[in-house]
Amino acid sequence: QVLLQQSGPGLVKPSQTLSLTCVISGDSVSSNTVSWNWIRQSPSGGLQWLGRTYYRSARSQWYHEYESSFKSRIIVNPDIGQNQFSLQLKSVTPEDTAVYYCARHVAWFDFWDQGSLVTVSA
């Protein structure tokens, strides 16, 4: 059973960087068959995929892929030693207020954490 546990501040000021970490239990961030993702849910209720990181041994390479509209201000990185991955979202505005989820993707998103509300406000 995979367990994901997220941590990070619940309040971020506008123009600052939102930083979240997701610790993985029951799997490895270096797994060759899955990817590790960040997804958010706005107050209106829709889910939005933000980005992911994953490793593929065939090329001994880490991949980082981001939703088109976030590419200029998002970083998703693995931390192999701590078996976790992180999200950095720069230059936030109140529109970035949402519940943020970390999730594992196989051919679908099969394990999610419980979600964390991040509010962007002065």
Partner 1 sequence: YVVTQPPSVSVAPGQTATIPCGGTDIGTRSVNWYQQKPGQAPTVVIYNSADRPSGIPERFSGSKSKSTATLTISRVEVGDEADYHCQVWHSTSGDFVFGSGTRVTVL
Q: Which residues bind partner 1 (CB under 8 A)?
A: 37, 45-49, 65, 67-68, 101, 103, 105, 107-110, 112-115
Q: Which is nearer to partner 1, 19 or 49 (CB)?
A: 49
Q: What is the dihedral of CA 110, 10, 43, 21, to 10 degrees?
A: -20
> Minimum CB separation from partner 1 for residue 108, in Å?
4
For partner 1, give the closer residue by CB, 46 or 81.
46
Rounded Cα distance between 28 and 115, Å, is 20
Give the number of other CB atoms < 10 A from CB of residue 37: 23
For the bound state, the minimum distance from the C-beta of residue 80 to partner 1, rounded and expressed in Å, comes to 23
For residue 62, the minimal CB distance to partner 1 (Å) is 15
Count CB-CB contacts under 10 A for residue 36. 27
For 2, 78, 100, the CA distances from 9, given in Å and listed in that order, are: 24, 19, 11
The region, left, alpha or beta by phi > 0 then psi within -120 to 50, assigned to residue 45 is left
Nearer to partner 1, 81 or 108 (CB): 108
Query: In the complex with partner 1, which residue's Cβ is closer, 45 or 81?
Result: 45
The least CB distance from residue 81 to partner 1, in Å, is: 27
